């Protein structure tokens, strides 16, 4: 996997004393089949990745247990797990992954804050959003990322944002209110691998092509609330995962989109100061 290792070394480790927080993002991965086996093998080939971010849909076959799927990932830590719409139950999922609740934070000092939400539960929207607003109001970390399952804006013809309208309507208001603080949104649900920009300020990473990938087209439109929604990069096809590096010294985030079967980085995108830039390796698959 020479391309991935070489690029990440140059991008994330150019300053030897920098604190770099590295994660693998694999959404909609709640199956254990040839595709998720390819994803696991590809992540293991990176050698330095031990933390996983799961943006939901963590169990598809409800005749099986979470252990049937996720015991195969022994050696990795589940750093942030969001609940999706494919689940045995909120309490059951929280218990297996040892989550503090349906929504919670993961904190790495003053460097990184991951805020995890349950976009599937519309019965506690008010409580979740009040908690989120207060959390963002007092947050001071260098990087702040939100992790939840359903994208807040429509990115494919397979799913629309109104599937969780109550949740998204309130969340959209909060996203605008704290757009200067939020570094990144991490979603799944749509079985694609893409980066979409909201108002050219907040990057929305959709990494939901772990066990299944679907054809999709890039988007470029003005949403009902006035937000511009535009694709920066979209995969061609196949199972993907995303390598995520938060570099405290450089103050940037690197997103490496990896084709699991080919074990190859197809696009590397840098986010810094609410601006994103595509590396040259994105040209062949950018649309």
Q: How far is CA 145 from CA 7, 15, 17, 92, 217, in A?
A: 23, 23, 23, 25, 25
Residue 211: predicted pLDDT: 86
Total domains present in the chain: 1
Pairing mode, if any, of strands 264-272 and 252-259? antiparallel
pLDDT digits (tens, 9 = 90+) for 153-200: 999 888 889 999 999 999 999 999 999 999 999 999 999 999 999 999
Q: Report yes or no on 287 lying in a domain.
A: no
Percent of the residues in the chain that have a pLDDT greater than 90, as a whole number: 85
In a domain, 162, yes or no: yes
In this prediction, residue 65 carries a pLDDT of: 97
pTM of the predicted model, to two decimals? 0.93
Q: What is the pLDDT of residue 157?
A: 85
Radius of gyration, alpha carbons of the chain: 17
Q: Is residue 19 part of a domain?
A: yes
136: CATH: 3.60.21.10
Evaluate whether residue 142 is within a structural domain.
Answer: yes
Whether 78 is in a domain gets the answer yes
Q: pLDDT digit string (tens) for 198-253?
A: 999 999 999 988 988 888 999 999 999 999 999 999 998 899 999 999 999 999 99
Give 58-116 pLDDT, tens digit per residue.
999 999 999 999 999 999 999 999 999 999 999 999 999 999 999 999 999 999 999 99
List, for residues 252-269, the tens digit of each pLDDT value.
Answer: 999 999 999 999 999 999
What domain range includes position 16? Answer: 2-282
pLDDT at position 144 is: 99
- Per the domain annotation, does 184 fall within a domain? yes
């Amino acid at each position: 996997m020479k391309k991935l290792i070489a690029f990440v070394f140059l991008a994330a480790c150019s300053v030897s004393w920098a604190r770099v927080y590295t994660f693998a993002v694999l959404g909609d991965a709640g199956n254990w089949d040839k595709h998720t086996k390819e994803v696991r093998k590809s992540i293991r080939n990176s050698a330095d990745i031990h933390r996983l971010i799961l943006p939901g849909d963590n169990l598809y076959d409800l005749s099986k247990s979470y252990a049937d799927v996720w015991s195969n990932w022994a050696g990795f830590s589940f750093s942030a797990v969001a609940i999706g719409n494919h689940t045995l139950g909120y309490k059951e999922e929280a218990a297996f992954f040892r989550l503090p609740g349906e929504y919670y934070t993961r904190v790495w000092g003053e460097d990184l804050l991951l805020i995890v939400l349950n976009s599937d539960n519309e019965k506690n929207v008010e409580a979740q959003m009040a908690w989120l607003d207060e959390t963002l109001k007092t947050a001071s970390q260098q990087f702040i990322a939100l992790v939840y399952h359903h994208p807040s804006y429509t990115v494919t013809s397979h799913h629309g944002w109104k599937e969780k309208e109550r949740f998204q309507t309130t969340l959209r208001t909060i996203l605008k209110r704290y757009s200067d603080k939020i570094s990144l949104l991490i979603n799944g649900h749509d079985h694609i691998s893409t980066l979409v920009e909201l108002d050219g300020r907040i990057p929305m990473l959709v990494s939901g092509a772990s066990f299944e990938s679907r054809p999709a087209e890039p988007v470029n439109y003005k949403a009902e609330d006035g937000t511009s929604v535009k694709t920066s990069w979209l995969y061609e096809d196949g199972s993907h995962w995303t390598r995520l590096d938060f570099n405290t010294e450089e103050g940037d985030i690197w997103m490496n989109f990896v084709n699991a079967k080919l074990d190859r980085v197809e696009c590397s995108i840098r986010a810094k100061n609410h601006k994103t830039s595509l590396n040259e390796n994105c040209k062949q698959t950018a649309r």
